[in-house]
Amino acid sequence: MKKKSRFLQTPIEPFAVDAALSADQVLARMERISFQGRNLATAHRIWQKMLQDDVTIFMGMAGALSAGGLRLIVAHLILHRYIDCLVSTGANLYHDLHETRGQHHYVGSPHADDAALAEDRIDRVYDTYASEEEFISNDNWIADFAATLEARPYTSREFLYLLGGHLWKTTNRDGILTAAYRANVPIFCPAIADSSVGMGLSQARHKKPGTGHIDIIGDIVESANLVIRRPRTASVVLGGGTPKNFINQASVQAEFYSDEVGGHRYALQIVTDVPHFGGASGSSLEEAQSWGKLATDSARVSVQSDATIALPILASALANTAPPLLATRKAPVFTLAGRVMTVDGQTVPNARFVEEVNEPTV
Amino acid sequence: MKKKSRFLQTPIEPFAVDAALSADQVLARMERISFQGRNLATAHRIWQKMLQDDVTIFMGMAGALSAGGLRLIVAHLILHRYIDCLVSTGANLYHDLHETRGQHHYVGSPHADDAALAEDRIDRVYDTYASEEEFISNDNWIADFAATLEARPYTSREFLYLLGGHLWKTTNRDGILTAAYRANVPIFCPAIADSSVGMGLSQARHKKPGTGHIDIIGDIVESANLVIRRPRTASVVLGGGTPKNFINQASVQAEFYSDEVGGHRYALQIVTDVPHFGGASGSSLEEAQSWGKLATDSARVSVQSDATIALPILASALANTAPPLLATRKAPVFTLAGRVMTVDGQTVPNARFVEEVNEPTV
Amino acid sequence: MKKKSRFLQTPIEPFAVDAALSADQVLARMERISFQGRNLATAHRIWQKMLQDDVTIFMGMAGALSAGGLRLIVAHLILHRYIDCLVSTGANLYHDLHETRGQHHYVGSPHADDAALAEDRIDRVYDTYASEEEFISNDNWIADFAATLEARPYTSREFLYLLGGHLWKTTNRDGILTAAYRANVPIFCPAIADSSVGMGLSQARHKKPGTGHIDIIGDIVESANLVIRRPRTASVVLGGGTPKNFINQASVQAEFYSDEVGGHRYALQIVTDVPHFGGASGSSLEEAQSWGKLATDSARVSVQSDATIALPILASALANTAPPLLATRKAPVFTLAGRVMTVDGQTVPNARFVEEVNEPTV
Amino acid sequence: MKKKSRFLQTPIEPFAVDAALSADQVLARMERISFQGRNLATAHRIWQKMLQDDVTIFMGMAGALSAGGLRLIVAHLILHRYIDCLVSTGANLYHDLHETRGQHHYVGSPHADDAALAEDRIDRVYDTYASEEEFISNDNWIADFAATLEARPYTSREFLYLLGGHLWKTTNRDGILTAAYRANVPIFCPAIADSSVGMGLSQARHKKPGTGHIDIIGDIVESANLVIRRPRTASVVLGGGTPKNFINQASVQAEFYSDEVGGHRYALQIVTDVPHFGGASGSSLEEAQSWGKLATDSARVSVQSDATIALPILASALANTAPPLLATRKAPVFTLAGRVMTVDGQTVPNARFVEEVNEPTV
């Protein structure tokens, strides 16, 4: 009989339907099917591996995930330290703050009459609505808070920590910003100027000259120094955008100053963009290797799916499978209250790059 | 205080993570989030409604779902009568037959060296492999079987019933074709000529003149007559393609001959194509209303997702929620063994349209 | 100085804007840009190469291209023998017939009120409308014609030739069907049962028993025999779907019976589907090599674009660059009037495969 | 005879192929076809209308358009004042600077061996390569320049004007940055921290303490004040991303302080993202109306296409049709050299919002 081809090793195992399967059991049965179903199951396995290894786990989020009902998942991932550092668009933080302040987004229709919505001052995000009036009240709230701060530049990381603290003290409610505050998880927002958080800050400046100043170049330095301090990293990306690139950039920038940095050891992305138009959001994890953003021997998977489908399943599965891993995980310990943050007792400066791991800093 | 806009009725409820959630519980928590996650949850609800109503449920499947590990889900849906009639591409039936015959598809890589695969005679479907040699053996098996049949035209529905029966008797194994045979669920394959099932049939004709003849115009008549016999219908579409349109066409064609037909009462589609390029696969369910394919008051939802993610979750959820509905459901009863099929005791001719519901037929 | 990497050979040449550029000059300036622009320029070059080589050029078309305003481009490509054989969905042929009969599709809006359209019996295809009444008149026209034919099975190829002839004699107007009739270019329609052409045929059967019979397995045999007769082939695909696969299948099926067949020598596809969901429409040309659908040394390009953008530009460019190539091209010569077609004087049977090129046939 | 439906007004006019069509003639023949082809033709018409009206034309660019060969088109649009203000990602400006400095991007393959590329230190962007070493030299060049500037915060707009001037004086070569410098067209880069321009700035800070400081909240104030000064605006968006939102945000923010602002009067976007995942990049122009980003009676069109296909054609067509419009157009006149820019002789402050159009400023 003819020898079997080396390519034919692992048979596809068709998904078998059963009653009462938990989310992780569903994913386990998807491990040997094909296409994006297999990829989602692989994402579950890779995230578990990240938690077992000694890596700093960055998570990026872009797209209207907070307005779209995923903010408490992200808060959960932060609080239980499935992740160590969040990079977000401003809109996701703003919509999180909106709900943490006790307001809502609303179930709507993608076929709405937008002129009628405009008349009612309702803002539409595909099939979801929000009140413009409430948004304006958020802008004011942010502006008022920012105007109370000392008139100096803040990295987005420092400002968001302070904002999260203020929000927690005011509301005592769960959300992304408040979870990050409570769990001492840093949040970076490199495109904060392109969001309503930025609009609130611009109004602070209008109210009180000298306030509302964000030092986003400091964020670059700080994020790269974090990678220099802890060169083993992992990347979880939801939706691409500026967060995806900023996480990769931290790695690339860190490599200039430290030989120990070699790209993420693990990478998983849940995206809807595609590679063939050349944009960074849809770029493949293979391409990321050419840049050194990703170690060539990294474990990686790209899931082509709307995060509003993939993340609830993935997080529900992890809620079953991850707790023992989380219990023994040694997550990095941050202090975020000061102008200069620390990780595991070492400073992470934002004014200059740390060139040797052991040099005295700032 | 200002009156709230009529647009702001139902707040988004952020997904709350918990351990040990079953698939249906995950979907229940996705009902009030946004975007495709909400749509998937809505699909779960609409399918339940279909099962409670007195409708004939058509399911269409296109894309490499059988090779991709979903064939036993479809077999499950057939056997437990979540659906009443399957419309499929030829490839899905062929890949089903391939595995039912005891062969496999294999886990592969989308980054494979295709020249090396070609040398080994391995056929690749994105990240999945199959042996060309085994495929050739299937073609022969189909050709041999078809050559045993009386030399006359068969509707694809009749041929596939006979093929399913032969496959069941030969293998005693579960699969789409064998489940449909056992459950007396008709399968139509309007584009059978564009598949390896068709290739097998063409080889039958080569082996034994006069065999290998499919009457696909008869399939049009038969499917329309089925809708005339049972004018209340529902449509579940996986992936678009010819099955999606054929199911709609049956409804449109039936309307010419019966006033009781008024488009599907329920429609759910899980597709990855988009509407804005004008193709039928991605066309919206709203557009379908203009054609009368869908009742204007139908319950409907379109889920933009790879079926390899959406279907395992949906089927797992239904496995928990549907059994009581299935227990009381009155599914249409088919006899499929003859040249002319029957439904609920009435003939469903393929030679001419049934113009009045109660007329004597054939 | 450091040696330059072998990867850095050909610089990107930014597109330089100028007044009065013709379509081919625009494409020439896109040859060294990136992404899909480069691919479209490459498609122009590959099509020119096809015309210079001795290959049978198959073209597949799927998606609502006829309704969408591209039917006269396809007619032009047929009449001037840019292509030798068309494989189409039924809808494209039907919408072509609709306009050739003097009727129209209409500019509409994707945001239309579909219930209002349904009330006016207007069918919508994304942003394009048509009258249901006129469609019903087409169905009748097709049915009446088919009912005049001898009551026997016809391959879709034979039927469409006869239909084209009848249409030309009735209307004297340009279109896909009439151009193919006049230029003796065969048209295959493997999924004819999934279209209004099929609906018309089903009504012929209703009107006159025994008519309306299409032998689509005969189409498989015939298309494979065409490749056996002329083993050097090229494939131009618009939109994927059944035509894409049918063209590839002809090549794969032919290979069983002839050693001279080795997959298409040239392949270009203009598609909007993507590979990563596993469907055939979006499958890559690299994957096609594993199947032997495409020669491993073929010239090939995949353009990710709506055909309503890419094809007008490509055809306009070719109208400038191709005429000298067309003038010297030796296109295959078909006779299509009979039950059995011929190419270059050799029969192309549909009842059995031609096993040796020189054997006596039928 | 039955009255024709009100929906059937304008027939589709199939595209007619001819030799020697110029780009604008190709687009003119696409005006009455369907789908994205029609949309591209409409984009051409809308841009012409913008040029005839008295509006400030903002253009946003995201995606690897500069690396991908479109930078000289954008430079052309700036120099000839098809646009008045550019909002860009940092990467597009960086890749522009890379080539203006005499270096290149290179034609590559999407199927490259990324480990081999990594070894050669070649960075891949889908099918395009660049030398990491040359990128590092750019970072240094930017850092060196930034380190020569006075140690104070700069809006991205001010910094990019200075950078463009330095680049022009150093190279005398055409490009986006140099064209904007020469034509006095402001460039905003709200996500500058998420790019290699930002990395260069962070290295400036490392080299010389106190430098490398960007005031992106100032950019928000300045862009909104520009809209307050000139409330009639238009938006041209390539690829979505932060630029798309920033342009809309300027309009929304301006509305808080001026009643004359009412959303863009014209909007055209060329995007590949889709609306149904809820992200801002793919969001529809209809949705934008609900937010007041777009006037409800605006002329607007969304083209679903890779910009590397759509923009070369559109720009080539405009090069034929726009010159008479440009000749009589009264474009806004900027001075950009100072910390505070002016438009048409009025200051555009970045420290506070201008509340009345005629108030004395700064």
- Comparing alpha-carbon positions, the chain A residue that sits nearest to B32 is A107
Place of tokens 């320049």: D145
Residues 201-240 of C with CB under 8 A from B: 201-203, 205-206, 209, 212-221, 224, 239
**Is residue A309 a contact partner of residue B36, using CB atoms and an 8 Å limit?**
yes
Q: How far is CA D86 from the centre of its chain?
A: 4
- Residue C20 in tokens: 């009065």
Q: How far apart are CA A277 and CA D310, in angstroms?
A: 12
Name residues of chain A where pLDDT drops below 70.
1-2, 356-362
Contacts of D102 in chain C (CB under 8 A): none
Distance CA D44, CA D314 (A): 6
Structure tokens at D39: 């949309």
D293-342 pLDDT tens trace:
999 899 999 999 999 999 999 999 999 999 999 999 999 999 999 999 99
CA gap C341, C85 in Å, rounded? 13
Give CA–CA dist C241/C246, Å, rounded.
9
Q: Number of residue pairs across C and D with CB atoms under 8 Å?
A: 248
CB contact A73 to B (< 8 Å) = yes
Nearest chain C Cα distance for residue B329, angstroms: 30
Average per-residue pLDDT for chain C: 96
Distance from CA of D246 to the nearest CA of C (A): 26
Helix axes B216-229, B241-257, angle to 10 degrees: 60
**Strand, coil or helix: what is C319?**
helix
Tokens of B352: 């001419």
CB spacing of C36 vs A277 below 8 angstroms: yes
- For chain B, list the contacting chains (3+ Cβ pairs, <8 Å): A, C, D
Dihedral sign (CA B278, B280, B285, B289):
positive
Q: Which residues of B touch A11 (CB under 8 A)?
A: 104-107
Using the beta-carbon criterion (under 8 Å), do B16 and A72 form an inter-chain contact?
Answer: yes
The total of other beta-carbon atoms located within 10 Å of residue C79's CB is 17
Short-list C109, C130, C126, C156, CA closest to C272:
C126
State the pLDDT at residue B2.
60
Residue C4 has pLDDT above 90, yes or no: no
> Residue A356: its pLDDT value, please?
59
Average pLDDT of the segment spanning B206-219? 97
Q: Provide the 8-state DSSP code for C353.
A: -
Q: Do B289 and C212 touch (CB under 8 A)?
A: no
Q: For an interface test with A, which of D140, D192, D194, D309 has the most A Cβ atoms less than 10 Å from its Cβ? A: D194
Chains adjacent to D (≥3 CB pairs closer than 8 angstroms): A, B, C
pLDDT in tens, C238-250: 999 999 999 999 9
What's the pLDDT at B362? 45
Q: What share of chain B has pLDDT > 90, as a percent?
A: 96
Q: Do A276 and C274 touch (CB under 8 A)?
A: yes
Mutate: best of C309, C313, C325, partner D, most D CBs <10 A: C309
Catalytic residue among B169, B207, B293, B330: B293
* Distance in angstroms (rounded) separating the CA atoms of residues D160 and D196: 13
Chain C: list its partners (3+ Cβ pairs within 8 Å): A, B, D
Only one residue has tokens 């003939």, namely: B347
Q: CA–CA separation, A203 vs A211, rounded Å?
A: 9
> Could you say which of A194, A281, A291 has the minimum Cβ distance to residue D123?
A291
Nearest chain A Cα distance for residue D296, angstroms:
6
CA B153 to chain centre: 23
- CA dist A355 and A358 (Å) reads 9
> In one letter, which amino acid is D138?
N
pLDDT band at D362 (very low <50, low <70, confident <90, very high): very low
User: Which residues are A11's β-sheet partners?
Assistant: B106
From chain B, the residues in CB contact with C353 under 8 A are: 202-203, 206
Burial-class residue B144 by CB neighbours within 10 Å (0-12, 13-18, 19+): middle
Among C34, C274, C277, the residue with its CB nearest the CB of A278 is: C34
Q: Is the pLDDT of residue B57 over 60?
A: yes
For residue range D41-69, what is the model confidence (pLDDT) as tens digits? Answer: 999 999 999 999 999 999 999 999 999 99
pLDDT-derived band at B3 (thresholds 50, 70, 90) equals confident
Per-residue pLDDT at D360 exceeds 70: no
Determine contact: D277 vs chain B, CB below 8 A.
yes
Q: What torsion do the CA atoms of D326, D328, D331, D333 make, to the nearest 10 degrees?
A: 120
C12/A contact by beta carbon, under 8 A: no
Residue in A closest to B108 by C-alpha: A7
Radius of gyration, CA atoms only, chain A? 21
Residues of B in contact with A29 (CB under 8 A): 312
Of the residues D3, D4, D208, D293, only one is catalytic, namely D293
Q: Which of residues 289-328 of B touch D (CB under 8 A)?
A: 304
Contact C278 B308 (CB under 8 A): yes
Mutate to test the interface with D, among A142, A228, A277 (most CBs of D within 10 A): A277
Top residue of A189, A220, A290 to mutate, by most chain D CBs within 10 Å, is A290
Q: Do D283 and A125 touch (CB under 8 A)?
A: yes
- Give chain C positions within 8 Å (CB) of D135: none
pLDDT score for D355: 80
* Residue tagged 């008869």 (tokens): B218
* Partners of A85 in beta bridges: A58
In the sheet that holds A106-107, the strands lie side by side as A106-107, A128-131, A122-125
Which residue in chain B has the smallest CA separation from D33?
B278
Better-predicted residue by pLDDT, D169 or D4:
D169
In the block, which residue shows the tokens 């490499």?
B64
Q: CA angle, corner C207, sides to C203 and C210, nearest 5?
A: 90
| Percent of chain C surpassing pLDDT 70 | 98
Cα–Cα distance for residue pair D305/C309, rounded to 1 Å: 8
Tell me which residue in C2, C34, C107 faces D127 most closely, judged by beta carbons.
Answer: C34
Note the pLDDT tens digit of each residue in D5-38: 999 999 999 999 999 999 999 999 999 999 999 9
Q: Chain D partners of B277 at a C-beta cutoff of 8 Å?
A: 35-36, 304
Option in B22, B120, B308 nearest A36 (CB): B308
* Chain B positions in Cβ-Cβ contact with residue A22 (cut-off 8 Å): 20-23
Question: What are the tens digits of pLDDT across the range C204-229?
Answer: 999 999 999 999 999 999 999 999 99
pTM here? 0.97
Are A308 and B30 in contact (CB < 8 Å)? Answer: yes
In this prediction, residue A361 carries a pLDDT of 46
Contacts of A23 in chain B (CB under 8 A): 21-23, 26
Instruction: List all residues of chain C from 176 to 195 with a beta carbon under 8 Å from chain B.
Output: 190-195
Q: Which of A316, A336, A318, A261 lies closest to A294, judged by CA?
A: A261
Cα B317 to Cα B44: distance, rounded to the nearest angstrom: 8
**What distance in Å separates residue B81's CA from the closest CA in chain A?**
14
Chain B positions touching C212 (Cβ under 8 A) are: 217
Give the pair of three-digit tokens for residue D351. Answer: 């420290």
pLDDT score of D188 more than 50: yes
Q: How far apart are CA B289 and CA B251, in angstroms?
A: 12
The single residue listed with the structure tokens 């609900």 is: D290
Summarised one tens digit per residue, pLDDT across range D151-175 is 999 999 999 999 999 999 999 999 9
Phi, psi of A338 (to 5 degrees): -90, 175
Q: Which two tokens stand for residue C266?
A: 């040239």
Residue A362 CA to residue D232 CA, distance in Å, equals 49
In the prediction, which pLDDT does A360 show? Answer: 47
Q: Is B41 on the interface with A (CB under 8 A)?
A: no
> What value does the CA radius of gyration of chain D take, rounded to a whole number of Å?
21
- d(CA D317, CA C20) in angstroms, rounded, equals 8
Q: Is B2 a catalytic residue?
A: no
Residue of D nearest to A198 (CA): D217
CB contact under 8 A, D112 and C7: yes
Shortest Cα–Cα distance, A289 to chain B (Å): 14
3-state SS, chain D, equals: CCCCCCCCCCECCCCCCCCCCEHHHHHHCCCCCCHHHHHHHHHHHHHHHHHHCCCEEEEEECCCCHHHHHHHHHHHHHHCCCCCEEEECHHHHHHHHHHHCCCCCEECCCCCCHHHHHHCCEEEECCEEEEHHHHHHHHHHHHHHHHHCCCCCECHHHHHHHHHHHHHHHHCCCCHHHHHHHHCCCEECCCCCCCHHHHHHHHHHHHCCCCCCEEHHHHHHHHHHHHHHCCCEEEEEECCHHHHHHHHHHHHHHHHHCCCCCCEEEEEEEECCCHHHCCCCCCCHHHHHHCCCEEEEEEEEEEECCHHHHHHHHHHHHHHHCHHHHHHCCCCCEECCCCCEEECCEEECCCCCCCCCCCCCC
C145-149 long-range contacts (CB < 8 A, ≥24 apart) are C145/C204, C146/C200, C146/C201, C146/C204, C146/C211, C146/C212, C147/C204, C147/C207, C147/C208, C147/C211, C147/C212, C149/C211
The DSSP line for C182-216 is HHT--EE-TTTTSSHHHHHHHHHHHHSTT---BBH
- Residue in chain A nearest D127 by alpha carbon: A278
**Strand blocks (E) in A240-351:** 264-271, 294-304, 334-335, 341-343, 346-348
Q: Note the pLDDT of residue A2.
A: 60
Mean pLDDT of D164-191: 98
